Structure 1
């Protein structure tokens, strides 16, 4: 596929969503249960219109689950399946939180706001579920800090790649139209 063939917004979106799914596969292999879904949700929210942001976030989650259950041998138990589904819903909620936060600010401030909103929505949702099922003793400040740092580094890397790509001529052609804001 040539750059010329990627002239339609749909082609660019599909390629970008596919790239995020591939990154998800790599992160899953490296971090297993600590995949930075909040970072993926935030970069999706600031890179795509609402529909494609949710599709991208869902694709990232699905790729993570496919690798986890297919190759990393996550147990096929009700609890594991329920947590997997919950993580998918939480990732989508995080994407929406990031999208709403990024609409208030532009540039780096908007990107940071999107990331922080996604992370707070993600971790806050997990905390609410833990509280509801009586697992608050699992809450660990150092563990949460580790997850924050993984997400922050991943988001920073995604933001840097997005910025670099949009500053090159080929990158401008690939990313043109991806950041269109549609409600």
Structure 2
């Protein structure tokens, strides 16, 4: 493979989604059930069109599940599978919320709004499920704060990686257009 093999938009998108999935799996190994799916949803919404953002978010969730079952030995029972499916659906809802915020607000404020919308949708959905199951007594402020911090740090890191990748891509495009003009 050559560098030009990765220059098409489809190749870059596929590579970006694969990178998010790998990062999602690595986060799972470090944080298990506290993987920052809201952060993945927000960065996906900020990086891709709606359909591709949902695909990228789903890929991060699937990698999380695969790593959890393969390496962390999540139990294979109805409750675990149901929670896994619920987290996948909630991640997609979070991606939609982030995309909606990003389309309404631009710039740094849009970036922040996308993250907040994704996180509120994610945690709000979990609270609704907990309330429906009568599990609200298991919700604690310190746990929610920990999840917020993990998601915020992950979103910051993913945003930084996105900026680095974008600036590298722009430099490559400029260099190739200069080469073409001088040829």
TM-score (norm 1): 0.91
CA distance in 1: counterparts of 2:107 and 2:164, whole angstroms: 14
Tell whether the 8 Å contact from 1:45 to 1:99 is kept in structure 2 after alignment: yes
- How many residues are paired up? 173
The structure where helix makes up a greater share of residues is: 2
Once the 2 structures are TM-superposed, how far is the Cα of residue 171 of structure 1 from its aligned partner? 6.7
What are structure 2's unaligned runs of at least 5 residues?
174-183
Equivalence for 1:71: 71
SS in 2 for 1:102: helix
Cα contact 1:25–1:67 (8 A) shared by 2: yes
Residue equivalent to 1:108: 108
Residue equivalent to 1:94: 94
Q: CA RMSD in A?
A: 1.3
Whole-angstrom distance in 2 between the partners of 1:2 and 1:110: 36
Which has more radius of gyration? Answer: 2
CA distance in 2, matches of 1:69, 1:105: 38
**TM-aligned CA distance change 1:172 to 1:61, over 3 Å:** farther
Q: Distance in 1 between matches of 2:100 and 2:118?
A: 10
- How much has 1:70 moved relative to structure 2? 1.5
Give runs of ≥4 in structure 1 deviating > 3 Å: 169-173
Say if 1:7 and 1:54 are closer, same or farther in 2 by CA, change over 3 A: same
Question: Relative contact order (alpha carbons < 8 A, sep ≥ 6): 1 or 2 greater?
Answer: 1
User: How far apart in 2 are the matches of 1:84 and 1:72?
Assistant: 14
Distance across 2 between alignment mates of 1:37 and 1:172: 31
Aligned residue for 1:58? Answer: 58
Change (3 A) 1:66 1:119: same
Q: Which runs of 5+ in 1 are unaligned?
A: 174-183
Equivalent position SS for 1:76: coil
Deviation at 1:162, TM superposition (A): 1.0
When normalised by structure 2's length, the TM-score is 0.91
Residue deviations 1:65-119 (CA, integer Å, cap 9, x gap): 0111122110111111100000000000000000000001112111110000000
Partner-residue secondary structure (3-state), 1:168: helix
Corresponding residue for residue 178 of structure 1: none
